[in-house]
A and B are shown apart, each in its own frame.
Chain A
Amino acid sequence: MEWYVLLTGAFFLLLALFATGLPIFLSFLTLNLIGLYLMTGNFGGVLLVVNSMFDTGTSISLAAIPLFILLGEILFRSGAVRILFNAVDAVIGNIRARLYAVTIVLSTIFGALSGSAMAVAAMMGSSLLPEMRSRGYDRNLSVGAILAGSSLAPIIPPSVMAVVLGILSGVSIAELLIAGIVPGILLALAFFIYIVIRGWRNPDLAPLSPRADLPGRERALLVLKALPFLLIIVTILGLILGGVATPTESAAMGCVVAAVICSILGDLKFAKLVEAVRSTAWITGMIMIIMVSSVSFSQILNMTGVTFELVAFVTSLALPVVLIFIVLQALPLILCMFIDQIALMILLVPLYQPIITGLEFDPLWFWTIFLINMSIGGITPPFGYTLFALQGVARDVPIQSVYRAAVPFVLIFLLMIVVLALLPDIILYLPSFV
């Protein structure tokens, strides 16, 4: 069978399985079994699927997910998020859309710290989202803000994805990490502006707060109450920047610190802590069962060789340089709709390298844009780990609403990529000091 028949067949079959309402992890497992049967004529290859589940399930680099979820759970259930929002309301309660801004800022900070978009999305979804909705904020815009902010995780250092990309592409990892800073901040700004415009055009999306009218002393008290919460963030930041712990380890320390602070100052009883832990198990189970099933999907797809053929086809096209650039960047965006990002990098980067050298693209510029592109992959429907992670914590939000919420922010991402492509200095300025 021709590769493009297989590839489009797999894509549409996956979509069809999604559409039947079959759980997402089962859609992947089903395709895995079909693929293995077609390749080998029997089901002996199921061994590969089971082994891959074991391998992904014990992969400690993914442990950031439960740890950041638990952190979010503790912060939410202890009332720390409520206290923080009250403080924000007290200071700038007369500005519409302020909590969206707080969401963007917090997601950006935690995204910067953790490097895992999934972990941050799950954490923000379990802590900020319920509080925002109870305050009358628009559900979809809240979800979109969280998705967008957490997608900055792989772009702003530290970032495992940047390290892997640096290794594969031969670009200096240090430079690649630093190159992400300015685009990451610009993206955060762009999201912010978008949200302000939305709130300004439609005031119903973001209510004003009565707290802004409180007497000055009470407002100051509300701010004071939020200081311990900042201590938690400072702890995590300090551990990472001080070279004491990896981001994953810092999240664990953050959980312990948060539990202690929140039980002293906030409203964290043992029963609530148990609830937080059980809820973390639930959400982790939901996210990881999709992970462990879809990694083997990428593997089987690679085994058939179709992904290789697709890349070979694209790279053989004789087109103007600009079009080649667009095709090279569009391909991962499309493949990210249904392939795991790390697997995709392993596949694409070695094949891209000769082309980039041949066309004399600046490698740092090209791969930084590529990295941003991969980050969008996590929130482009229908398949994106960040999307699934958020839906895992916000269960009453249907997945199609999550998809819809993501779209405007994907477009902002794409717009920013155009800007970065046209003005390479935005990317290249900071690394030039290394």
Chain B
Amino acid sequence: EDMTLLSSWDESYNAVPVFAQGFAERLEEKSDGDLNINLRGPETVSPFEQLQPVSTGLFDMLFTHGAYHLGETAMAFGMDAVKDDPVARRESGIYELIDAHYQDRNLKLIGVFSAASGYHFLLSDPIGEDGGLEGRKIRASGTYHDMVIELGGSVVTMPASDIYSALDRGLVDGAAWPVFGAMDYKWYEVADYMTRPTFGVTNLTLFMNLDSWNSLTEDQQALVEETARELEIEGREHFEKLWAEEDQAMQDAGLEITEFGPDVAGDVNAIFASGVWKQVRAKAGEDGAEFHDLAVEKGLTAAE
């Protein structure tokens, strides 16, 4: 059985070798070469347009981030506000909710992979007396919009490819991004500080077209699920190491740590999470509300 997996990133993003290629290799091995996955990257379909082609069956699987299809629904994005514990996540019943939500779009949820790390701000100047981002112009996508405002900054919208030169020439005072990025995109050349503590959890989501899923035998389906479960745990462990290395590499490259003020530091996680939940409720309707309530009930999120 040959299947195609559409990925939102090319191999230079380290989640692709760990989770996407890792998934393909594991599955091929487990099935003794029966289930064979071919990777296709963003050079074939641009990252923000990938959900629909997979749901119509032009590709069999999708490896993406929930924020990349925020225009369609924010359900998968909600996982970024859920505690980073693969086992507790699986047991909570959250997966079933998300899965049902996407089945309505002809997609099957296969797995949610934590990168064992979250998000931060890269800044030109260290955090000041306000303890937050007072008066700063921060390049940020919709993901961080509420958070930047809450911390007293203002949001500048521009394509990711402009971040380097915008930081370089002082067009913006900072940029929000997952903690992995400053090295790959070379922003350490043009920013001097990174904020701590980090906030949220970066999650990568794997979907399968529902028809492709249904065409698998029960044994094959079991293999796919088993592979995803294993990778959720082992891939996450691998990422803990990668994250420690990355954190060190960024500091070696000259990015200094700047801490949020004492009044702010304890709240950044909750501030971020409540921004996420606001979008989940707004864009995933009743399912989204149910998801948030369940996460609160199970004690798996920082924001009510």
Contacts and interface: CB of A to CB of B under 8 A. Distances in A.
**Direct A–B contact in complex, judged by CB atoms less than 8 Å apart:** yes
Contacts of B40: 302-303
A134 interface: no
B189 A246 contact: no
A303 B53 CA distance: 13
Contacts of B48: 55
Say what secondary structure dominates the interface of chain A: helix
B49 A55 contact: yes
B44 interface: yes
A302 B40 CA distance: 8
A86 B58 CA distance: 59
Nearest to B171: A243
B159 A350 contact: no
Contact of B58 (A45, A54, A347): A45
Contact of B46 (A52, A173, A303): A52
B170 A350 contact: no
B257 interface: no
Given A167-B184, A302-B44, A47 B52 contact: yes
B43 A164 contact: no
Contact of B186 (A44, A55, A167, A243): A167
Contact of B162 (A44, A61, A166): A61
Contact of A168 (B12, B41, B49, B169): B12
A51 interface: yes
Interface in A333-371: 343, 346-347, 350
B186 A343 contact: no
A246 B185 contact: no
Interface residues of B, number: 33
B58 A243 contact: no
B158 A246 contact: yes
A40 interface: yes
Contact of A172 (B46, B162, B169, B186): B186
Interface string B153-183: 0000011011011101111000000000000
A298 B58 contact: no
Contacts of B168: 174
A160 B189 CA distance: 16
A299 B186 contact: no
Contacts of A45: 53, 58
B43 A298 contact: yes
Interface string B4-41: 00000011100000000000000000000000000011
Contacts of B44: 299-300, 302-303
A143 B67 CA distance: 45
A175 to B, nearest CB: 9
A121 B186 CA distance: 30
Interface in B225-278: none
B100 interface: no
A16 interface: no
Contacts of A164: 161
Contacts of A40: 58
A241 B166 CA distance: 11
A158 interface: yes
A163 interface: yes
A421 interface: no
Interface string A57-82: 00111000000000000000000000
A51 B171 contact: no
27 contacts: A40-B58, A44-B56, A45-B58, A47-B56, A47-B58, A51-B45, A51-B53, A52-B45, A54-B49, A55-B49, A60-B159, A61-B159, A61-B161, A61-B162, A160-B161, A164-B161, A167-B185, A167-B186, A172-B189, A173-B186, A174-B186, A246-B158, A246-B166, A299-B46, A346-B10, A346-B42, A350-B10
Interface of A: 40, 44-45, 47-48, 51-52, 54-55, 59-61, 158, 160, 163-164, 166-168, 172-174, 240-246, 298-300, 302-303, 343, 346-347, 350
Given A167-B184, A167-B185, A299-B46, 18 more contacts: A47-B53, A61-B161, A61-B162, A158-B165, A163-B164, A173-B189, A174-B190, A240-B169, A241-B169, A244-B171, A246-B162, A246-B166, A246-B171, A298-B43, A300-B44, A302-B43, A343-B43, A346-B10
Interface of B: 10-12, 40-46, 48-49, 52-53, 56-58, 158-159, 161-162, 164-166, 168-171, 184-186, 189-190
